[in-house]
Amino acid sequence: MKKILWFVVMSLAWFSSPAQAPANARIVNLSQFTDLMSRPSGNIMVLNFWATWCAPCIQELPLLEQLNKSSPDVDVLLVSMDLDLDPDPEKVYRFIARRQLRSEVLLLNASDPNSWIGRVEPSWSGALPATLVINPHTGKRIFVEGQLKEGELEKMLAKVR
């Protein structure tokens, strides 16, 4: 009886323990994020704004994953807006594990959306998905709102290189 009880308790503890943050995911606040965006050196950055509940965002993920896999000179950063509606990052961590996402995932923890959306990109309405490509060396950037089409990322990269 004692053994069964112990087993049950340990199982419950195991299943209710919070998901570990995957190695490729971290939570960033607004100033950390804007610092990253304005870094003067390093690889070209592809910042994709998405969320686990956003269907068109999920549909375009394979294009971003493929880019991440094929281009070591490009940093693909999947910026999750999930924390905007749910302070618990576990849903995102489980999504990353389930989909085996390899790209870097940043969970943006920033309140008061109107105060920073324009700073990321003045023309952005705030709607997801959105993709911003930045060349840190030249400061050249290109932004697109809406679901990415096949080949679109390559065209955007060509424009900033």
Partner 1 sequence: MKKKLILLLLTAAPLLSFTPPKGYEVGDRVQDFRLKNVDGKMVSLADYKDQKGVILIFDCNTCPYSKAYNDRIIALHTNYESKGFPVITINANDPQMSPGDSFEHMVDRAKSKNYTFPYLIDESQEVARAFGATNTPHVYLLTKSGNDFVVSYIGAIDNNPRQAESADKRYVEEAIDALLSGKAVPTKKTKAVGCGIKYRNA
Cα–Cα distance, 145 to 59 (Å, whole number): 14
- The minimum distance between CB 18 and partner 1, in angstroms, equals 19
43 vs 52, which CB is nearer to partner 1?
52
State in angstroms the smallest separation of the CB of 48 from partner 1.
12
Min CB(57)–partner 1 separation in Å:
10
Nearer to partner 1, 101 or 108 (CB): 108
**Residue listed under structure tokens 């950063």:** 77
Side chain identity, residue 122: P
Both structure tokens of 82: 């999930």
Identify which of residues 65 and 152 has a Cβ nearer to partner 1 in the complex: 152
* Closer by beta carbon to partner 1, 73 or else 112: 112
Are β-strands 44-50 and 130-134 bridged in parallel, bridged antiparallel, or unpaired? Answer: antiparallel
Q: Is 30 exposed, middle or buried (0-12, 13-18, 19+ CB in 10 A)?
A: middle
Q: Which residues pair with 134 in a beta bridge?
A: 45, 141
Would you say 8 or 158 has its CB closer to partner 1?
158
Binding site for partner 1 (CB under 8 A): 49, 51, 53-56, 81, 84-87, 111-115, 117-118, 124-129, 144-149, 152, 155-156, 158-159
Distance between CA atoms of residues 154 and 111, nearest Å: 32
> Look-up: residue for tokens 């999930």?
82
* Shortest distance, position 116 Cβ to partner 1, whole Å: 9
Minimum distance of partner 1 from residue 55's CB (angstroms): 8
